[in-house]
C-alpha cells in the first residue's frame, strides 16, 4: 500500500458510524458492570474542563456524524405530530423517570434559559380541547387533601410569612367545606326555619364557631381544631337562608353577648359530643347478670 494521507469518503464515514452505533451491538446489551464503568468514564471526562476545551477546539467546524446533521427538508420532531405513544412505551418512560429529581444546578439553568420569555397564549381550539377533556371529571377528597397539603403554608407561592390568622385557615379548609356540604345534603338544601329551598343558603353553627375554638389552646390552634370532633359534628349545624341567619342571636357577633348559663350549656353539649357512646346490654344479658 503506498504511503500517504488517506481521506475517507462520506459513504465510508456513514458505514463506520453505523457499524459503531448499531452493527457491533445489534441485538445485544451491555452488562450492568459495563454500563457503570461507561457512566463513570463519561462523568470523569465531562468534569475535566481541560479535556472538554481540547475536544471542543479539535472538533470545531467538523461533523462526526454526517447522517445526523441538519438537512433541508428534514422532518425532525414533526414526525410525531398527530401520533400517540403506546401505553407500554409510556409506562416504560414513567418507570425510567420515577424517583429521579432535577439537581438545583439544572433547575437554575432551566430558570435562566426561560427568564424573560413568555408562554404564548392558548388558542381557542386548545382551550376547547382542555375543556372537553376535563368536563365531568372531579378530583377525589384524598387528591384534594394531598394538593392542599402540598401547596399550603410555606410551600405555596403566595406565602407571606404566616400572616393569615389560624381562624381564617380553618374556615377555608377542605374539612370545613365538607362539613357544609354534609349539612346541606342532610337538610336537602332547605332552610330549617322558613322552609325555603335553594337560593343563598348558609351552614350555621348552632354553638358558635368562635366559642368552640375558645375551648382549645391557642398554641397550634389550627392542628388542634382539625382533630377536634365537635367542630366537625353535623349535629352542631343547620341549613338557614340569609334572612333567617340574620335573625339568630349569634349572627356576626359569635358568643360575645351570650349569658354565662347558656355558655355552660354549650360546654356540656360539647363534652357529650366528645364522650364515646355508652354500650347498652341486651335484655337477655341483663337478666342473666341479675340472676
What whole-number distance in Å separates Cα of residue 80 and Cα of residue 76? 9
Give 239's pLDDT tier (boundaries 50, 70, 90).
very high
Nearest to 198 by CA among 159, 145, 241: 241
Q: Grid coordinates representing 233?
A: 359534628
What b-and-e string marks burial along 244-261, b requiring 16 or more CB atoms within 10 Å of the CB?
bbeebebeeeebeebeee
Domain boundaries in the chain?
166-273
Mean model confidence pLDDT for the chain: 77
What whole-number distance in Å separates Cα of residue 174 and Cα of residue 228? 15
Nearest to 239 by CA among 183, 171, 155, 161: 183
Contact predicate 206/245, CB 8 Å: no
Q: Which of 83-97, 194-208, 220-234, 259-273 bottoms out in mean pLDDT, i.e. has the lowest?
A: 259-273
Query: For residue 202, which phi and psi values (nearest 5 degrees)?
Result: -120, 145
Helix (H) or strand (E) holding 241: strand 237-241
Nearest to 13 by CA among 89, 83, 69: 69
What whole-number distance in Å separates Cα of residue 12 and Cα of residue 15? 5
Q: Grid coordinates representing 238?
A: 343547620
What whole-number distance in Å separates Cα of residue 204 and Cα of residue 193? 12
Q: Grid coordinates representing 71?
A: 438537512
pLDDT at residue 214, rounded to an integer: 78
Nearest to 205 by CA among 251, 173, 242: 251
Q: What is the pLDDT of residues 174-222, one digit of tens each?
A: 888 998 999 999 999 999 989 888 888 999 888 888 788 877 777 778 8
Is residue 60 helix, strand or coil? Answer: coil
Burial class, 216, CB count within 10 angstroms (exposed 0-12 / middle 13-18 / buried 19+): middle
Is residue 41 helix, strand or coil? Answer: helix
Mean pLDDT of 142-169: 78
Amino acid at each position: 500500500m503506498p504511503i500517504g494521507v488517506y481521506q475517507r469518503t462520506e459513504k465510508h464515514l456513514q458505514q463506520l458510524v453505523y457499524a459503531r452505533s448499531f452493527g457491533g451491538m445489534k441485538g445485544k446489551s451491555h452488562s450492568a458492570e459495563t454500563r457503570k464503568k461507561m457512566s463513570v468514564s463519561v462523568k470523569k471526562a465531562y468534569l475535566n474542563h481541560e479535556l472538554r476545551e481540547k475536544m471542543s477546539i479539535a472538533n470545531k467546524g467538523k461533523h462526526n456524524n454526517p447522517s445526523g446533521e441538519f438537512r433541508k427538508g428534514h422532518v425532525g420532531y414533526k414526525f410525531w405530530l398527530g401520533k400517540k405513544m403506546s401505553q407500554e412505551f409510556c409506562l416504560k418512560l414513567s418507570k425510567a423517570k420515577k424517583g429521579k429529581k432535577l439537581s438545583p444546578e439544572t433547575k437554575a439553568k432551566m430558570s435562566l434559559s426561560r427568564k424573560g420569555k413568555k408562554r404564548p397564549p392558548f388558542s381557542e381550539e386548545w382551550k376547547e380541547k382542555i375543556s372537553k377533556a376535563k368536563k365531568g371529571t372531579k378530583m377525589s377528597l384524598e387528591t384534594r387533601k394531598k394538593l392542599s397539603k402540598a401547596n399550603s403554608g410555606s410551600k405555596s407561592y403566595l406565602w407571606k410569612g404566616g400572616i393569615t390568622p389560624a381562624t381564617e385557615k380553618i374556615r377555608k379548609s377542605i374539612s370545613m367545606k365538607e362539613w357544609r356540604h354534609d349539612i346541606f345534603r342532610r337538610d336537602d338544601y332547605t332552610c330549617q326555619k322558613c322552609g325555603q329551598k335553594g337560593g343563598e343558603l348558609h351552614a350555621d353553627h348552632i354553638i358558635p364557631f368562635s366559642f368552640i375554638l375558645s375551648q382549645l389552646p391557642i398554641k397550634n390552634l389550627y392542628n388542634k381544631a382539625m382533630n377536634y370532633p365537635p367542630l366537625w359534628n353535623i349535629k352542631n349545624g343547620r341549613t338557614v337562608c340569609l334572612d333567617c341567619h340574620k335573625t339568630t342571636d349569634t349572627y356576626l357577633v359569635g358568643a360575645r353577648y351570650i349569658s354565662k348559663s347558656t355558655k355552660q350549656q354549650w360546654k356540656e353539649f360539647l363534652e357529650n359530643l366528645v364522650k364515646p357512646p355508652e354500650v347498652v346490654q341486651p335484655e337477655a344479658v341483663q337478666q342473666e347478670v341479675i340472676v
